[in-house]
Amino acid sequence: MEEKGISKAQEMVGHAMKRVAIKLYGTQIGYTIVLKSKIEASLGNIELKKAFDELDQSLKAVNMDSCQYFHSILFLDAISEIEIYFSRLIQIIVKEYPEKIGSTNFKLSEVINADSLDDLITRASDEFINKLMYKKPMDYLESFCEVLSIDKNKFKHLWPVFVEAKARRDLGVHNSWICNSTYLRKMKEANIDTDAKEGDLMIPDEENYMKNKVVNLVELVLNIFEEVIAKHSRKKTPSAADQAANI
């Protein structure tokens, strides 16, 4: 049932934002837990020390230690959740306004075999999202904001935070966390200053890096949430932050 003044789409956007915020918070807490566990192991927790030592030994083959291993997993999950959040926003808005993604070509067999119009709209939005993921950083931002009908200038200053995190995640997935020309190209395309060089190890295992990264990413997803809610509200509603807190 819809809450008074809140459409079903707004409610779904709120749930999507809440999920990603929880996962980002969990990432930050996870970093702290790993570091504190490592310290506890070094201070005499025999069972914990044995577990860390065994893991460290096995990870030598991939040039990682246990902290780097856990931190990389947390980081990969966090960036994936943000991409899921962006995709979910597009799916929600496109379902309400299918014309936003322009023309999409379907085979006659796909139209005939579709269960419903909603099925075709879902396929079209999925295709749009897939193409979006491969665009240059600033083109991604442009297309993302265009389909959601939101003002990119409200959070454009935070976009480089996501671009860098996504590019670093790609290093972890495709290049064993080793900096390459693709990462450096993406930094240049987004006008991001970096001291990184090809061959540098880019595992996000520095506590300050991840702490600042999470704070900025949370601000980014909240700003986007505020913009989407403000743009697509049907009636005057409570503030977006209040809606999110009450979901």
Predicted TM-score (pTM) of the model is: 0.82
pLDDT in tens, 134-190: 889 899 999 999 999 999 999 999 999 999 999 999 999 999 999 999 999 999 999
In whole angstroms, what is the distance from residue 26 CA to residue 34 CA? Answer: 12
Question: How does pLDDT run across 18-42, given as a tens digit for each residue?
Answer: 999 999 999 989 988 998 999 999 9
Q: Which residue has the tokens 């856990």?
A: 70
CA atoms of 120 and 47, how far apart (whole Å): 55
Which of 167, 141, 136 shows the shortest CA–CA distance to 154?
Answer: 141
Which residue type sits at 15? H
How far is Cα 128 from Cα 2, in angstroms, rounded to an integer? 28
pLDDT digits (tens, 9 = 90+) for 96-119: 888 777 666 655 566 566 666 666
